[in-house]
Amino acid sequence: MVAKTILITGCSSGIGYVCAHGMKARGWQVFATARKPEDIERLTAEGITTFHLDYTDEASIHACADQVLAATNGRLDVLFNNGAYGLLGAVEDIPTDALREQFEANFFGWHELTRRFIPIMREQEEGRIVQCSSVLGIVSGKHRAPYAATKHAIEAFATSMRIELEPYGIHTSSIRPGPINTKFMPNALATLEAKIDLENTVHKQDYADSLKRLKSGPKSSVFKLEPEAVFKKLVHAAESTRPKAVYSVTTLTYLVDVMRRLLPTGLLDGPLAKG
């Protein structure tokens, strides 16, 4: 049998890294992406075919798609959009250019790459598009607006694509992780300190308190899971004859989903205000 093919973005660490190795172990022909040359070299040495992809660079997106299609004789079974980063901060403190960068990396780049493969999958009369969303794709919270906005956009696109593409045999799924043990939060904190003027803001003390709490880590990791939890959902989305539209991953994601349906807005805002 010819191995099924999957393109997974953002594989330098965390969810993408685990999913790339996991799908390869299941017999898939895996194409991974990373931005940094050293990560590409490391993944390649580990036996994963890896291409450069920068979601903020249109030429990079199309070059990656071309390389994948050249290696697969023009087909792709599954696209897993995963690569993203977090931008934290109060709405009034977020520079508009920083917000544009967030959307380029977390949304517009995903859209551009996905558009390249939709006609391929339509011609095949089958395919799977899996979007790595977030619990912040269904709610937002204090200092979470930029990242949550991109994930809300991803959720909207996933819903529309699911409806538009189902007649062609193309299934679209959204995976919603909550707290996952990755480098996401350390990277997000570094971005916060780089993009926000932490000294000249009315929220100065609030940021200081949040940074102290987030850098010290949670007192309990009862809600935090390893990236393998996301991998299990990807396997179902990619291999099941009846893939789900939405995959919640962590207890927190399930809990928040129930809360947003049942609680009045005022009661829901309380927990979300804690960040």
Catalytic residues: 147
Orientation of helix 145-165 relative to helix 96-103, angle to 10°: 30
Helix, strand, coil in percent for the chain, rounding step 5: 55, 15, 30
The 10 Å CB-count burial string (b at 16+, else e) for 17-32 is: bbbbbbbbeeebbbbb
Structure tokens at 193: 């300190």
The 10 Å CB-count burial string (b at 16+, else e) for 103-116 is: bbbbbbbbebbbeb
Contact 34, 50 (CB under 8 A): yes
Contact 177, 230 (CB under 8 A): yes
Cα gap 198→81, rounded to integer Å: 32
Cα gap 85→189, rounded to integer Å: 11
Torsion angle defined by CA atoms of residues 194, 198, 199 and 201, in that order, rounded to the nearest 10 degrees: 130
